[in-house]
Amino acid sequence: MPIRILPADVASQIAAGEVVERPASVVKELMENSLDAGASHISVQIIGAGKGMIMVSDNGIGMSSQDLSLAIERHATSKLTNADDLFHIDTLGFRGEALASIGSVSRLTITSRMEGQDSGNRIKVEAGRIVYQKSIGAPRGTSVLVKDLFHNVPARLEFLKTDRTELRQIDDIVTRYAIANPEVRCELFHKEKKILQTSGLGDRRETLGAVVGVESSREMLEVIAEEDGISVNGFISPTTRSKSNRRDIYFFVNGRPIQDPSLVTALTQAYHTMLMVGRYPIAYLFLQVPPDFVDVNVHPTKAEVRFKNPQRVFRAVQRAARRSLLAHTPIPEINQNSDWLQSAWRSYSIPSEQGYPGENLVGPNWKVPDSVEMPETQTKSHHPSLGTLKTPILRLIGQVGAAYLVAEGPDGIYLIDQHAAHERVLFEQYIAAYEKEKENNDRIDSQGLLQPVAIEFSTTNSSMLEEHLDIINRLGFVVEPFGSNTFIVRQVPTLLTDIEPEAALRILIDDFEEDESPLQQQVEARIIARVCKRAAIKAGQVLSGEEQQRLLSDLEQCQSPRTCPHGRPTMIHLSVDILERQFGRKGSHSGM
C-alpha cells in the first residue's frame, strides 16, 4: 500500500485514544482544567458510570467566546507559549489536547462565563465538529458536559470494564484530586446521589477523613520533611495497619497524582522489618520539587514524570517516611548476638511442610498464597522421625512469658508460639467446617452478636464489600448493607466468637483486589487465613492449664502443625544435643 496522510478525523481518534482511555480519563482531564482555572468548587456528576454522562462544573475563571472555540482545537492551550515553558510547568494541563480528544469521541457541550462578562457562551461539538455555538446566560465558571462517550468508537466501549469498576476508577480520580487540593470543595454525584464530598476548608487531614473515613484518617501518621529542595508532606499508615496490595499508596508531585514504582519502593523500604513480608502501607505523600527538576511531559496522560535526579527524590521519600515511623513506633530490641539465641536458631530443626514458604498444603486443594519469608538459618531436620510424624508426642510443661508453651518431646524441649499455633488450629478448623458446609450447600455456623455493629467505609471499600457480600456470608458472617457506605455485622462465625467484628470486616476488605479473579478457592483460603490471624490468641494472654493443654492437642490434630497459615514456624526445637553442647557436656568441653 502506498503511504497516505490520514484523514483528520482518523488522526484525531488515534490521538484521542492516548488521552481518553475510559470515562475516568475524561473526569481526570476535566478536573485538571477546573483546577488550572483556579476553581474553589468543583462538582462532578456521573450517569451510567460515565458512559452515559459526565459533567464537571467549576467556578473558575471561565473562557471568553473566542477562547471557547479555540479550546476545542487540538494543541490549543493557554498554559504554554514556547518550548522552554515545558520545563517550568506549574499547571496540570499543558498539552492542549484534552478537550479536542474528548470532543472527537463524544457529544461535548461546554458552557462558560468569564469573570467580569455579562453573559456566557455555549459550544457543542460532535465527533470533532462544532454543531452549535451561541451566547447564553450562565453562572461564572465553566461547565463541561460529555455525553455518549465512545459512541463513534464501539471498539473502545467493548474494552470498558463493568460499571462498578469504571465508577471506582472515577471515584479514585476524584479522590486523588480532592486530597491534593484541600482548599477546593469537591463533590462527586452518581445518578444524583452524592458519593463524595470534601469541605474545601483547606485542612488536609480533615479532607482525607471525608474521603477514607474519619477513623482511618485519624490513625495516619503525619510526614513533614524537607531536604535538598524537595519537600515531602502527607500521611502514612502506622505499622499496625497495612494492606495486602500497593493500591493505597498515592504519590503527588507538585499537585499532580503520579505513578512511580521506585517511589513506592522507597516508601516500603522505610517500613523495612516493621511490616510482614507481603504487606504494604497506605500513604498519601505530596512532593514539592522545583518545576525545572521534573519533566512532566513523558506520557500523554501525564501520569508519569521523570526527575532530574531520581535518587535524591527516592532518598527524600525514604527518609521522610522512616523518620515519621520512628517518631511513632518504638523498635523492639533483640540482642541478636546472644549466643544461646543464635544456636537455638541454628538448631531450629523443623522444616516447613513443603520446603518453601507460603505453600503450606492443608488439604489436597487448599493453598495459602500469601508468602512469608522463613528464617534463612532454617536447616533440614536431623531427626528422621520428625519427617514422618506431624508432631512428636509432646508433654506440656507450662507457659512462659504469657506467649509460649513449653513442652517436652522425645528429643528435647519444644517452644510453641501460642499465637502462631492457635492461628494454625483455627485455620484448619475453619477450612474443614467450610468445606463440609459447602458440600451440604450450607453456610458455616455463626453466632449472633449481642450488639450488632454498624461500620462505615469509604465509597470504594463499600462497593468492594458489597460485591463480595456473598462470600463473606458463606464464611459465616452475617453482614448487611445499611445505607450510605455503612454495613451492619449481625453475626460472626462460631469459631471466631472472640474477634472484633470491625477488625474482621476491615481485614476482609483488604483482600478483595479489584479486577483480579484469582481462583475462588485461593481467595477463600487467604481470607480465612487472615481472619484467623486476627482471631487467634495473642502473645501476652495468660492461658489456664486446661487452655494450654487444649491448644497443644488441637495443634497435634492439625495436618500442618509446624507452621502458621502464613508460613512462620509455630514451634522451635531445642534438641538434647544442643542442650548438652550448651552445658558443656559434649563437643569441645566433653570429658570435663
**Binding site partner of 58, from Mg ion, ligand ADP, none, Cβ cut-off 5-8 A by kind:** ligand ADP
Which SS3 state, helix, strand or coil, does residue 447 take?
strand
Subset of residues 136 to 165 that bind ligand ADP, contact rule: CB under 6 A: 142
Is residue 453 within 8 Å of 480, Cβ to Cβ? no
Q: Which one among 13, 23, 27, 29 touches ligand ADP, defined by CB under 6 A?
A: 29
**Which residues lie closer than 8 Å to 523 by C-beta, 6 or more apart?**
471, 511
Residue 166 contact among ligand ADP, Mg ion, none, beta carbon within 5 to 8 Å by kind: none
**Which residues are CB-contacts of 309 (< 8 A; sequence separation ≥ 6)?**
293
Smaller CB distance to Mg ion: residue 93 or 501?
Answer: 93
| Min CB(97)–Mg ion separation in Å | 8
CA–CA distance from 352 to each of 379, 383, 415, 508, 572 (Å)?
10, 14, 16, 26, 12
409 near ligand ADP (CB under 6 A): no
Give me the least distance between CB of 110 and ligand ADP, in Å please: 8
Site string for Mg ion, 93-122 (x = CB under 5 A): x----x------------------------
Q: List Cβ neighbours of 193 (8 Å cut-off, separation of 6 or more).
A: none
Cα maximum dimension of the chain: 106
Binding span for Mg ion by CB under 5 A among 85-93, 211-219, 302-310, 461-469? 85-93
104 binds, among ligand ADP, Mg ion, none (CB under 5 to 8 A by kind): none
Distance CA 355, CA 351 (A): 7
Nearest to 489 by CA among 459, 519, 454: 454
Q: 58 or 187, CB closer to ligand ADP?
A: 58
Minimum gap (Å) between residue 11 Cβ and ligand ADP:
16
Contacts with Mg ion in 12-51 (CB under 5 A)? 33
Q: Minimum distance from CB of 277 to Mg ion (Å)?
A: 41
Which residue bears the cell 464464611? 475
x/- string (CB under 6 A) for ligand ADP, residues 71-90? x----xxxx-----------
Please identify, among the stretches 28-36, 224-232, 409-417, 439-447, the one whose residues bind ligand ADP according to the rule CB under 6 A.
28-36
Cβ proximity to Mg ion, 98 vs 195, nearer residue: 98
- Tell me which residue has its CB nearest to Mg ion: 93
> Cα–Cα distance between 452 and 474 in angstroms, integer?
18
Number of residues that bind ligand ADP (CB under 6 A): 23
CB of 332 to ligand ADP, least distance (A): 51
The binder of ligand ADP chosen from 17, 52, 96, 238 (CB under 6 A) = 96
Q: What is the DSSP string of 468-507?
A: THHHHHHTT-EEEE-STTEEEEEEEEGGGTTS-HHHHHHH
Residues 225-244 that bind ligand ADP (CB under 6 A): none
Q: Binding string, 33-72, against ligand ADP, x = CB under 6 A?
A: xx--x--------------------x-xxxx-------x-
In angstroms, the CA 203 to CA 182 distance is 6
- Residue entry with cell 485519624: 218
- What are the strands, taking DSSP E only, across 59-115? 107-113
184 binds ligand ADP (CB under 6 A): no
Nearer to ligand ADP, 125 or 264 (CB): 125
DSSP-based three-state secondary structure for 396:
strand
Q: How many angstroms separate the Cα of 515 from the Cα of each of 83, 164, 212?
A: 40, 10, 21
The secondary structure of residue 245, as a DSSP letter, is S
Give strand pairing partners of 488. 454, 480
Q: Give 574's Cβ-side CA count (13 Å radius).
A: 17
Taking the least distance from each CB to ligand ADP, the nearer of 46 and 394 is 46
Does 99 sit near ligand ADP (CB under 6 A)? yes
User: Which window, 8-16, 96-104, 193-201, 583-591, contacts ligand ADP (CB under 6 A)?
Assistant: 96-104
- For ligand ADP, the binding residues (CB under 6 A) are 29, 33-34, 37, 58, 60-63, 71, 76-79, 93-100, 142
